Structure 1
Amino acid sequence: MRIRISLLLKKSKSKNSGKCPVYARCVMDGRRIELSTSILVDVDNWDKTRQEIAGSSHEVRILNNRLLKFVSGIYDIYNQLEAGRDDFDIYTIKEKITGTSSKDYFIELFESVVDSIEKKLGKGYSKGTLKHYKTSLTRLKDFVKEFYFRKDIEIKKVDYTFLSAFDIYLKSKHNIGTNTVWGYHRHVKKVLNDAVSMGLIVRNPYENFKVKRGDANRDFLTLKEIKKIEKKRIQIDRLVIVRDVFVFACYTGLSYSDIAKLSYHHIHKGDDGEDWIIIDRNKTKNRCRIPLLPNALKILRKYKDYAWSESQGLLLPVRSNQKMNAYLKELATICGIKKNLSMHVARHSFATSVTLSNGIPIETVSKMLGHNSLKTTQVYARIVDKKISDDMKELKAIL
C-alpha cells in the first residue's frame, strides 16, 4: 500500500485575480483526496511537467520550497501511520493534515469531474459537453448556497430530499424546461455514480429519484418542403450558399460542425462503386458512413472549384453557425416556409422525411447519423409514426 502525490493547478477554483490554487492530489488504494496548499499561481507560471512554479526569482524559490515542504509533510504523516499498528486509509491522512474528521464534499467532487473532462477534450469529450457540465456545476453551487447557506455539502447528505429540492429549484427559480432539467440531473447522477465507484457512498440516490425526460421538439421538413427550398431561384449569393449547405445537410444528415470540417479525404469509393462520406462525428467521435445521394453529390460538384473551399481544402463554404442560422431565417421567408429553419432541422429532416419515411431501416439510419444508441434514433421513428397517424386521420375525415 503506497501513496502517490502530485501537484496540480485547480483552474476551476480560479480567483478574481486570475490566479489558481495549487492542490496536492493524493492517491492510495484507488481512492483519491485533494488538499489545498494555500498557494496561488498564475496559470502561465505553472510548470505542469515539473509540478512547480516556473522561474528563478527569490519569491518563486520560497513558494516552491513551501510546496516541497507541504508534500514532505504528507509523506511524513503517511510514514508515521504506516509504521503504526492501526489500519488507515487516504481519509485518515486527510484528517491528520486538516485537523478535521474525514468528510467528502459533493461540489468538490463535481469540480474534479469537470477538471477531468477538460483534460480529455477531443478524447471522448467535446467543448459542448464541458460547457454543459460547467453550467450544471454553476446551478448546483447556486442551489447549495441558497438552500443550505454554504459553499459545499457532504456527499452523504445528497439524498432523495436534496434531489427533489434541486429539481423544484431548477423548474421554479430558473423556469427551465423538462429536457434541460433532465440534462442537469444526468450530470449530477454521473458524479454520484463516480462517488459510488470511489466508495464515498454506498448507493446512488437516483435509484429512488426518477427524472422524466420530455419528448424533444424536433422540427423537420417534409420532402416537398426540401424540394421547394432546393429549387427556389434566389438572387442573393450569400443565401444561395446557405441554401446549398442546408440542403446538403438534409440529404446527408451531417451536423453543422461536421459539414464545416468536411474535406476531400472524407470522400471514399465504396465497394458498390458509389461515393461515400466517411467521417468521425465531432460530438461523439462515432464513425458515420453515408452513401452520397445524387442531390448531395450535385452540390459538392457545384463547389468543387469554389475559391474559398479550394484554398481551405474544404468541400463547402460554410459560414459561422450564428450567421448560418440568421440567414436561414431569411431563406425560410423567401421560400414561404413557416418553420424555424436551423442546421438541426436539416439533420432531423434527413432522419425523418428523407430516410425513415422512405423505408430505410432504423438501424441503417442510426449508423448514418452516428448515434450512440438506437433509442436516440427511435425518437425520429415516433415522429414518422405520428405523421402517418395524422395523415390517416385526415383521410378518415374525408372518407
Structure 2
Amino acid sequence: MKSNQKLSLLFWLFKAKATKKDGKAPLYVRMTIDGEEDLISLSRKVDPQFWDTENKKVTDNSVEGKKTNKKMAEVRVDLERHFAVLQSQYSNITPLMLKNVYNGLPALAKRNEVKEPEEKIPTLLEALQTFIDRFEKMVEKKHRSKYTLTHWKTTRKKVEAFLIFQYKAVDIDLQDIKYAFAEKFYDYMTLEVDKPLVEVTAKKHIKKVRQILGACVRYEFLAKNPFVDFNCSGGERDVEPLEMEQVQAIYRKEFTIPRLIEVRDAFIFQCFTGFAYQDVYALTADNIINVGNTGERWLIKERGKTSVSEMVPILPIVEEIIDKYKNHPRCLKDNCLLPINSNTRYNGYLKEISDICGITIEQLNNKELGTHKARHTFADIMLNNGVPIEDVSRMLGHKSIRTTQRYCRVRKNRISESVNKVKTILFTSEGELRQVS
C-alpha cells in the first residue's frame, strides 16, 4: 500500500492581499502532489521588501523575521513527516489529505470540514493553462480558431523553457513577476535560443503573457500588471500583396496535376474574397446568403480567429470556382465548399505553383508564397480600386480599422488619380489657380 508519490512544498507571499495599513502580505505554503495542489496559511504576514523571492525566506533580522523563518522550517518538517506517515497508509495521497492531518483532522475528511484558504492563486503556467483549457472548449464550439490555439500553446512552451533557462524553475508565482521578466523573456527569445525569433514574433508571445497577467489583475490575483509598460508594438512585418499581373499568371496557368489545380483555385478564391485559410477551410454552402431584393449572393461567415463576421459579395471569378467544385467527391463527403488541403500541404503546393509561374522569391520580398498573402492581395485589390477602407475592414472581418490599415499599400496611380481630381478643381487647363467664387 505504500505510496511512491512525491511532495513539493513552496512558500510564497500573497502580495496582492497586502494590507493598506502596514503593507504586509500573508504567507502561505503550497503543497503539490502529482500536479494537484492545496494551500495552508501560516497565519503570518511579511513586509514584501523583506521577502527573498528566490530563496523563499524573510531577510529581516528582527525577532519577528526570525520567528517567521523558524515557523516556515517547522511547517516544512511537519508536512514532510505527515506525508511520510500517509505514504505508509495510503496508495494515493492528495494535498487535501495532507492538509487534513496537518490540521488534526482525519485524512479522508471532506473539504467542507476544513477551513478553506482565502483564495487559490494560480502560478503563471497555471494561469496560462487555465486560459488554454477554456480556449480549447471555444475551439470545440467553433467560436475560436484551432490555429490561434496552437499559438497559445507555443507561447506556454516558450515560457516554460524560459523559466528553466533564466530562473532554473519549473514555474513562478504571479507575485514574483516583475517588469524585468518581460525584458529578459524578450532577450531570451531573440538572442539566447538556437533559432532566435524576429522582434514581431517575440513581442506577440510577450503580448499573450501580458494578456494573461491582465486577466489575473481583473480576478484580483495581482494588484497590477507588471507588463503594462512593455511596448509590444513595432517591428510589424509587412506582407506585400501580389501584383495583379502575378495573380493573373497564377489564374491563367494551365496545370495538369489535380492537387495543384485545386490549390491554385483555392488561392484565387482567397484573393477575391479575403478569407483566411482556416475560414475557407470551414466554408460550406450554408455560408452563401442571398442578400437584398435582388438576391445578390454573398459569402458570410464568423471568423474563427476573432468571432467577427466577414461578409463579401461573390465576384464572378469566385462564383466560377464554387460552381466548379459543387460536385467534387471531397466537398460532397465533408459538406465543404472547396477541397482544401492541410495548411502545411497548401503552402507547400503554393511554392510549387509560384516556381512554375515564374514568381521568384526575390519578387516576393524573399518570402515564399503563402496562404495569408492572398488576404493581403484582396485588401490591396479592393483599396486600390476605390473601395473605402471601412468597407474593406468589414469584408475582412477586422475588429478595428487600425488592423486594416496594416494591409494598405496605396499605389502611385491611385494617388495620381486622387490628386488629378483636386487639380481639376483648383486649377484651369492652363495651370492657373481658379478664382474663388
TM-score, normalised relative to structure 2: 0.65
SS at 1:212 equivalent:
coil
1:176 aligned residue (197, 200, 206): 197
* Amino acid in structure 1 at the alignment position of 2:33: S
* Amino acid in structure 1 at the alignment position of 2:399: N
Pick closer, same or farther for the CA change 1:316–1:146 going to 2, 3 Å. Answer: closer
* Amino acid in structure 2 at the alignment position of 1:111: Q
1:38 aligned residue (33, 38, 47): 33
Query: For residue 301 of structure 2, what is the aligned residue in structure 1?
Result: 279
Query: For residue 313 of structure 2, what is the aligned residue in structure 1?
Result: 291
Query: For residue 127 of structure 2, what is the aligned residue in structure 1?
Result: 109
Matched, 1:77 2:114: yes
Q: Is the 1:277–1:292 contact (alpha carbons within 8 Å) kept by the matching residues of 2?
A: yes
* Amino acid in structure 1 at the alignment position of 2:230: F
* Amino acid in structure 2 at the alignment position of 1:167: Y
Query: For residue 258 of structure 2, what is the aligned residue in structure 1?
Result: 237
For residues 327 and 184 of structure 1, what CA distance do their matches in structure 2 show? 29
For residues 380 and 122 of structure 1, what CA distance do their matches in structure 2 show? 30
More helix by share: 1
* Amino acid in structure 1 at the alignment position of 2:322: L
Pick closer, same or farther for the CA change 1:65–1:146 going to 2, 3 Å. Answer: closer
Matched, 1:359 2:354: no
Q: Is the 1:267–1:275 contact (alpha carbons within 8 Å) kept by the matching residues of 2?
A: yes
SS at 2:289 equivalent:
strand
Within-5 A mapping of 1:89-168: 90-91=118-119, 105-122=123-140, 124-168=143-187
Offset at residue 172 of structure 1 (A): 0.7
Q: Is the 2:288–2:297 contact (alpha carbons within 8 Å) kept by the matching residues of 1?
A: yes
Matched, 1:211 2:232: yes
For residues 248 and 367 of structure 1, what CA distance do their matches in structure 2 show? 18
Matched, 1:373 2:400: yes
Matched, 1:269 2:290: yes
SS at 1:384 equivalent:
coil
Structure 1 window deviating more from structure 2 (105-114 vs 156-165): it is 105-114
Offset at residue 292 of structure 1 (A): 0.5
* Amino acid in structure 1 at the alignment position of 2:304: N
For residues 246 and 40 of structure 1, what CA distance do their matches in structure 2 show? 46
Listed as ranges, the gaps of 5+ residues in structure 1 are 1-18, 22-30, 42-60, 80-88, 95-102, 391-399
Q: Is the 1:105–1:153 contact (alpha carbons within 8 Å) kept by the matching residues of 2?
A: yes
Query: For residue 337 of structure 1, what is the aligned residue in structure 2?
Result: 359
Query: For residue 314 of structure 1, what is the aligned residue in structure 2?
Result: 336
Query: For residue 57 of structure 1, what is the aligned residue in structure 2?
Result: none
Q: Is the 2:288–2:300 contact (alpha carbons within 8 Å) kept by the matching residues of 1?
A: yes
Q: Is the 2:246–2:359 contact (alpha carbons within 8 Å) kept by the matching residues of 1?
A: yes
Q: Is the 1:37–1:67 contact (alpha carbons within 8 Å) kept by the matching residues of 2?
A: no
For residues 198 and 352 of structure 2, what CA distance do their matches in structure 1 show? 28
Query: For residue 223 of structure 1, what is the aligned residue in structure 2?
Result: 244
Pick closer, same or farther for the CA change 1:40–1:225 going to 2, 3 Å. Answer: closer
For residues 130 and 306 of structure 1, what CA distance do their matches in structure 2 show? 30
Q: Is the 1:179–1:216 contact (alpha carbons within 8 Å) kept by the matching residues of 2?
A: yes
Offset at residue 317 of structure 1 (A): 2.1
TM-score, normalised relative to structure 1: 0.71
Pick closer, same or farther for the CA change 1:305–1:77 going to 2, 3 Å. Answer: closer
1:185 aligned residue (206, 210, 217): 206
* Amino acid in structure 1 at the alignment position of 2:124: F
Matched, 1:249 2:265: no
For residues 71 and 121 of structure 1, what CA distance do their matches in structure 2 show? 38
Query: For residue 82 of structure 2, what is the aligned residue in structure 1?
Result: none
- Deviation string 1:306-341 (CA, Å, 9 cap, x unpaired) is 343234332222223222222211211221112332
SS at 1:121 equivalent:
helix
Within-5 A mapping of 1:7-46: 38=33
Pick closer, same or farther for the CA change 1:251–1:34 going to 2, 3 Å. Answer: farther
* Amino acid in structure 1 at the alignment position of 2:168: F
Q: Is the 1:278–1:288 contact (alpha carbons within 8 Å) kept by the matching residues of 2?
A: yes
Pick closer, same or farther for the CA change 1:192–1:329 going to 2, 3 Å. Answer: same
For residues 94 and 228 of structure 2, what CA distance do their matches in structure 1 show? 47
For residues 305 and 201 of structure 1, what CA distance do their matches in structure 2 show? 56
Q: Is the 2:135–2:149 contact (alpha carbons within 8 Å) kept by the matching residues of 1?
A: yes
Listed as ranges, the gaps of 5+ residues in structure 2 are 8-16, 18-27, 37-89, 98-105, 417-437
* Amino acid in structure 2 at the alignment position of 1:206: F
Query: For residue 8 of structure 1, what is the aligned residue in structure 2?
Result: none
For residues 200 and 319 of structure 1, what CA distance do their matches in structure 2 show? 43
Offset at residue 378 of structure 1 (A): 0.8
Tell me how many residue pairs correspond in the alignment.
323
Offset at residue 377 of structure 1 (A): 0.7
Q: Is the 1:37–1:70 contact (alpha carbons within 8 Å) kept by the matching residues of 2?
A: no
Q: Is the 1:179–1:214 contact (alpha carbons within 8 Å) kept by the matching residues of 2?
A: yes
